Amino acid sequence: MTYDRVDVPDSGEKITIQNAETDELSVPNNPIIPIIYGDGIGPDVAPAAQTVLSTAAEETGREINWMRLYAGESARDKYGENLPAETIDAIREFNVAIKGPLTTPVGAGYRSLNVALRTELDLYTNVRPTYYLDGVPSPVKNPEQMDMVNFRENTEDVYVGIEWEAGTEEVQQVREFVEEEMGYDEMIHDGPVGIGLKPISEFGTKRLVRKAIDYALENDRNSVTLIHKGNIMKYTEGAFRDWGYEVAEEEYGDEVITEDTLWEERDGEAPEDAVVVNDRIADNMLQQLLTRTDEYDVLAMPNLNGDYLSDACGAQIGGLGIAPGANIGDGRILAEPVHGSAPKYAGQDKVNPSAMILSGRIMFEYLGWDDAADLIRDAVEATISEKYVTYDIHRQIDGGEKVATSEFANRVAEHIERLA
């Protein structure tokens, strides 16, 4: 494929899907990897991440050939639109990419570009591993107990954006249908009202839960917990729970055991090499993140719950400045940090790039570059442990040296070279 405004590297090879049934990739040692810098602090943290990721690749005998793509403000400058077709097409073609944060206005303006990218590319699983790095200040006593991986459904729930604004003809039509045709004539208050739909499907639920269970089995995790509000929303989130259990019981045989079976038939003794599937109500789970942190491994949940829960997990290990994430579909990944674009800090070379660096680590794991991924984690931890940190961590610790975004990244790269 040719591109009008994207420069494809002269060197490097394309990552391709080798086996569509298993999502297995064919990964060369010199891949072309697209990168979107993003908005706000994106042009600060993305180049910092490139420095670290390139170093980790080189120290393990590989080479990344970066291909710059555009979305958000940079795309408006270059294309006159927020999300050009070339950006979508390039990620489809090259399969593995990473992006910085993109800005979305609250209450008005264009739809979330993050959601649009996930939907257009059918990146239906948002994966957010949350683990503690030594030296990071935390608001909890034992942050090292946090080691969870959140699997958040990415394409359904209220994030689909099916809603109608108060005072419009469309919302009046929906209201009349609900009240007159469906018989819910006393359920909506008088006066202006906004109305939205919350679709949760069997198809969307089951493919997400499969990803979560497969991950647990492949990574020696003990449990997968379905997080829902099914006690109230019985036909959406309650259905998510039921469909999740169907996947576990019908597709995995002895590899998976439900919590009910575990206690009814085995007195709580899980068989070796089996994953326990259980479920928790969302609000209760927010409490158990704090009170029973070490009892949970992999969490699978609808879109909105996943947003809340993953941010709450991130708070326990020091905040979103170090919280990584990635959007994964069938044979395709778009890594991205959890944090936003923080426009007031844009261009100041001061924010923490760890979240984007560690998002690159997820991307490396997806490529099968576990040796390089381990180097990245160890080097980030070593840099923070020696108190060579950006302002967000420096203001919470005694002593240490406050450094710029680029300086932090350079030090992480130096640690990678020493550790390799």
- The reply, when asked if residue 307 is annotated as ligand binding, is yes
Instruction: Establish whether 229 is a catalytic residue.
Output: yes
Inter-residue contact 40 to 341 (CB < 8 Å): yes
Instruction: Establish whether 159 is a catalytic residue.
Output: yes
Residues recorded for the chain: 420
- The reply, when asked if residue 359 is annotated as ligand binding, is no
- The reply, when asked if residue 292 is annotated as ligand binding, is no
Q: Which of 39, 44, 157, 307 is catalytic?
A: 307
Q: Which of 37, 70, 124, 159 is catalytic?
A: 159
- The reply, when asked if residue 28 is annotated as ligand binding, is no
- The reply, when asked if residue 395 is annotated as ligand binding, is yes
Question: Within its chain, how far is the Cα of 396 from the centroid?
Answer: 26
- The reply, when asked if residue 342 is annotated as ligand binding, is yes
Inter-residue contact 44 to 38 (CB < 8 Å): no
Taking the C-alpha atoms of residue 83 and residue 79, their distance in angstroms, rounded to an integer, is 9
Instruction: Establish whether 141 is a catalytic residue.
Output: no
Inter-residue contact 296 to 225 (CB < 8 Å): yes
Residue 16, SS3 per DSSP: strand
- The reply, when asked if residue 391 is annotated as ligand binding, is yes
- The reply, when asked if residue 418 is annotated as ligand binding, is no
- The reply, when asked if residue 339 is annotated as ligand binding, is yes
Taking the C-alpha atoms of residue 270 and residue 277, their distance in angstroms, rounded to an integer, is 11
- The reply, when asked if residue 344 is annotated as ligand binding, is yes
DSSP state of 270: P
Among 353, 361, 362, which Cα is nearest to 322's? Answer: 353
Inter-residue contact 207 to 152 (CB < 8 Å): no
- The reply, when asked if residue 62 is annotated as ligand binding, is no
Taking the C-alpha atoms of residue 207 and residue 330, their distance in angstroms, rounded to an integer, is 10
- The reply, when asked if residue 341 is annotated as ligand binding, is yes
- What DSSP line would sit under 100-135, residue for residue? ------SSSSSPPHHHHHHHHTT--EEEEEEE--TT
- The reply, when asked if residue 142 is annotated as ligand binding, is no
- What DSSP line would sit under 186-208, residue for residue? TSS-SS---EE-----HHHHHHH
- The reply, when asked if residue 128 is annotated as ligand binding, is yes
Q: Which of 229, 296, 349, 366 is catalytic?
A: 229
Instruction: Establish whether 252 is a catalytic residue.
Output: no
Q: Is 414 exposed, middle or buried (0-12, 13-18, 19+ CB in 10 A)?
A: middle
Q: Which of 134, 283, 294, 370 is catalytic?
A: 283
Contacts of 355 (CB under 8 A, 6+ apart): 45, 320, 321, 322, 323, 324, 325, 337, 338, 339
DSSP state of 180: I
- Which positions make up the binding site for D-threo-isocitrate? 112, 114, 118, 128, 152
List residues with catalytic annotation.
159, 229, 283, 307
Residue ranges at the known binding site for Mg(2+): 307
- Binding site: residue ranges? 103, 112, 114, 118, 128, 152, 307, 339-345, 352, 391, 395
Annotated binding residues for NADP(+), written as ranges, equal 103, 339-345, 352, 391, 395
